[in-house]
Structure 1
Amino acid sequence: MTLSVPTANAVDLRTEPVDRVFDQVEQSLGVHLDRETVVRKRRSVGARTDRDSWVRIERRGLDRVGKQGWDGAACAEALQGVAKPTWYGSVSWRGASEGVMWRADETALLPGAPVGTSIVAVDPDVSDGWWGALNASLDALAAQQSNRIATPDTESITQLLVNETIWSVFPKSLDTTVEQWRLAHADLNWANVTAPEFCLFDWEDWGMAPRGLDAATLWGASLAVPALAERVRRERREDFASRDGMVMTLFVAAKILGPHAHPEDPRLVPARAVSEQVIKELQAG
């Protein structure tokens, strides 16, 4: 007999009341959350505490917790050479409604403000030093190993997922076999990095992934600003020039160009143009 995992109803924490959740976190972690500093996202909320730390709270269905759990922030403490906030502690509990779990992670405060929203429409104009720190962190991350599997968009990235995502938009004749798997943050966008000092946060989804996933993800988040997207490709040129980097470029582009694409999305034209070039290069071998 196969036991099914209860599925949680979709909830947008940008609009849902979370006072009771805050009360639970305060009691469990022994902190006071400053309601004036609350930042709401679709599946997480966060706030500053009275001991100069930050608490991020996430709601996730049991079906989305996965085999590796969802202790990404805690596990990321083992990573070396990566600019990220120090993790202090956490608490998790099962919600009153079946199939729902909550988790709160307390970390050091960020050294600066998030650069912007996940997808930017204006060049954030970060410094050359910022790009250098980004590269140093991504290179240090890629040089390490873990048994964690990256979960971009909370879905474990596998060869099958790569194939299906790319082939849903591009020719099925394309060979999308991944050759190199490296550690990745797996949610590298402009809402998860700070400036002027570089810091990479929100480590819930990190793990092993095809080489170039992070570079391609940041590129996809930059496409509405052509010069910025080109800067990403230039800074991470070795990733993009690799075969796996090309495959990841198509993986990200397929999500932009797929059936749910908005016809006025400014990323559509550049994503299609780069994809056509990448396909030619892959087919040429």
Structure 2
Amino acid sequence: MYSPPPDPDTEQRMRTHHARTAKALDVQVEPGAEFWGWAGRTLGAPARTTTGAPVWLRLVSAPEDKAAGKLWDGALDAQHAFGDLDGHRPALLAVHDAVDDGTAYRAELSVRVDEPVLSDDPILQHDLQLPDSWWKELSGSLEKVSAVDTGRVAVRQQYMDRAIPEFVGIPAPAVTRLSTAHADVHWANLIASPLRILDWEGWGRAPEGFDAATLYAYTLLRPDTAARVRETFPVLGSPAGLAAEATVCAQLLQTVSRGDNLNLADPLRNWSEELRRR
């Protein structure tokens, strides 16, 4: 979650359109809680339907000529592809589109999840005591995701060919199999009881094991839990998983080079050394 945008015009514009959308979808926003995305691009808040059902109203904005593509359609595409994923994905209930003064707005009304995420930070900062059943459900859910056919692309070969040599120091490994990935499985997108997987904007095809590698990367500060990730997802450390691991490692080392995720810098470099040895 981010702070409101520094530009007061953007803040007012998003709040105005969020309120208009609530009226259009016939929901009542609950006062006192709002969640901003980066630079005011999104604004979400809890709400209730006329029957009192708890829902989540999220508004995303973009210049009208850029209101398309993978991220824009991610939640809607995920609803069509996965539904509620056997209860592990908050279902999308309605979508409302509008354009005003050259800016496009998409509102997504979803089933509300009131349980807290496992971490406020994508990077796990404390060990978790999760039951075996939770790990089994997570593995099973991601396996179901991986089997869905889609034309969406989460990781492009061109990126792998460029970023893996630059940040990991090896040629991009051959991809033995592509599968469908959530593509952003980290601890701020996971809920424990019951298991929920949040934020489906960027899902698509990626090297086999990409979700497992992503979760592992965000667990590197907690070796015990990282070992549990490896145990749950045996693709990690295997020849089949090398392309996914190298891609995720490169992605996060790239963020480090830009000044983000600095507390992962040393563990990521150690991981890259392991990948080079493999």
TM range (shorter): 0.7 to 0.9
Deviations, residues 65-104 of structure 1 (Å, cap 9, x unaligned) = 55457222222223264521121111123353x4x43221
Partner of 2:44: 46
Tell me how far 1:178 sits from its aligned partner: 1.9
Structure 2 letter corresponding to 1:241:
G
Match of 2:8 in 1: none
The equivalent of 1:56 in structure 2 is 58
Tell me by how many angstroms 1:264 deviates. 8.5
The structural deviation recorded for 1:183 is: 0.8
Does 1:94 pair with 2:99?
yes
Instruction: Using the TM superposition, give the Cα deviation of residue 25 of structure 1 relative to its aligned residue in structure 2, in angstroms.
Output: 1.4
Instruction: Normalising by structure 1, report the TM-score.
Output: 0.81
Partner of 1:274: 271
Query: Where do residues 9-158 of structure 1 align in structure 2 (5 Å cutoff)?
Result: 14-16=3-5, 17=11, 18-42=14-38, 43-51=41-49, 52-61=54-63, 65-68=67-70, 70-77=72-79, 78-79=81-82, 81-82=85-86, 83-96=88-101, 98=102, 100-110=103-113, 112-116=115-119, 117-150=121-154, 157-158=155-156
Q: What code does the residue aligned with 1:102 have?
A: Y
Distance 1:109 1:264 in 2: 29
How far residue 128 of structure 1 moved from its aligned partner, in angstroms, is 2.0
Q: Is the 8 A contact 1:111 1:194 kept in 2?
A: no
Residues 263 and 118 of structure 1: CA distance in aligned 2, closer, same or farther (over 3 Å):
closer
Would you say the 8 A contact 1:159–1:177 is kept in 2?
A: no
Aligned-residue sequence identity (percent) comes to: 26
* 1:226-279 residue CA offsets vs partner (Å, 9 max, x unmatched): 2222221221122x1343522222222223333625499332222222221222
In structure 2, the residue matched to 1:213 is 210
Letter in 1 for 2:112: L
Match runs of 1:168-207 below 5 Å: 168-171=166-169, 174-207=171-204
Q: Give the conservation status (yes or no) of the 8 Å contact 1:111–1:199.
A: no
Residues 127 and 196, structure 1, Cα contact 8 Å, conserved in 2? no
Query: Matched residue pairs, number?
Result: 260
Secondary structure of the 1:164 match is helix
Instruction: Give the Cα separation in 1 of the matches to 2:237 and 2:153.
Output: 23
The alpha-carbon deviation at position 115 of structure 1 amounts to 1.3
* Residue 157 of structure 2 corresponds to residue 159 of structure 1: yes
4+ aligned runs moved over 3 Å, structure 1: 60-69, 241-244, 261-264
1:253 aligns with 2:249: yes
Query: How many angstroms does 1:31 deviate by?
Result: 1.2
Structure number with higher helix proportion = 2
Alpha-carbon distance between aligned partners in 1 of 2:105 and 2:22, rounded to the nearest angstrom: 13
RMSD of Structure 2 on Structure 1 (CA) = 2.5
Give the Cα–Cα distance (whole angstroms) in 1 for the partners of residues 64 and 238 of structure 2: 36
Q: Is residue 211–residue 245 contact of structure 1 (8 Å, CA) maintained in 2?
A: yes
Contact 1:115 1:190 in 2 (8 A): yes
TM-score by length of 2: 0.83
Report the AA paired with residue 18 of structure 2: F
- Is 1:265 aligned to 2:262, yes or no? yes
Residues 109-167 of structure 1, C-alpha deviations (whole Å, 9 max, x = no match) = 226221112222112333222111111101111122112222xxxxxx21001121212
Q: Secondary structure at the match of 1:119?
A: coil
